[in-house]
Amino acid sequence: MENLIIKKKDTLFERLKTETRPIVIYGMGNGADKILDICERKGITISDIFASDEFVRGHSFRGYKVKTYSQIHSMYPDAVILLAFAVFKDDLMQKIENISQEHTLLVPDVPLFGKGLFDHDFVMANLDNIKRAYDMFADDKSRSVFLEVINFRLGGDPAVLRRCETERDEVFGNVIKPDNTEDYLDLGAYDGDTIKELLQYTNGMYSTITAFEPDKKNMKKLEKAFGSYDRCTLYPYASWDKDCLMNFSGTGGRMSCFDESGSVIEAKAVDSLDRCFSYVKMDVEGAEYETLTGMKRTIAQSKPKLAVSAYHRVGDIFTLPLYIKELNPDYKIFIRHHKYLPSWETNIYAV
How many domains are contained in the chain? 2
Residue 329 lies in a domain: no
Q: Which of 77, 97, 115 is the last residue of a domain?
A: 115
Residue 343 lies in a domain: no
Q: Give the pLDDT confidence of 26-66 residue by residue, as tens digits.
A: 999 999 999 999 999 999 999 999 999 888 988 999 999 99
Compute and round to an integer the Cα radius of gyration of the chain: 21
- Domain span at residue 244 reads 178-309
Within this chain, do residues 101 and 187 fall inside the same structural domain, yes or no?
no
Q: Which of 83, 115, 147 is the last residue of a domain?
A: 115
CB burial class (10 A; 0-12, 13-18, 19+) of residue 275? middle
323 three-state secondary structure: helix
Residue 148 lies in a domain: no
CA distance 54 to 48: 18
Is pLDDT of 258 > 70?
no
Residue 200 lies in a domain: yes
Q: Which of 115, 150, 168 is the last residue of a domain?
A: 115
What pLDDT score does 250 carry?
59
Better pLDDT: 114 or 4? 114
Residue 34 lies in a domain: yes
CATH number of the domain that 99 lies in? 3.40.50.20
Contacts of 90 (CB under 8 A, 6+ apart): none
Residue 255 lies in a domain: yes
Within this chain, do residues 16 and 106 fall inside the same structural domain, yes or no?
yes
Q: How many CB atoms lie within 10 A of CB 219?
A: 22
CA distance 66 to 214: 35
Q: Could you give the percent of the chain with pLDDT greater than 90?
A: 89
Residue 167 lies in a domain: no
Q: Is the pTM of this model over 0.75?
A: yes
Residue 320 lies in a domain: no
Within this chain, do residues 108 and 203 fall inside the same structural domain, yes or no?
no
What pLDDT score does 298 carry?
98
Within this chain, do residues 99 and 222 fall inside the same structural domain, yes or no?
no
Within this chain, do residues 183 and 297 fall inside the same structural domain, yes or no?
yes
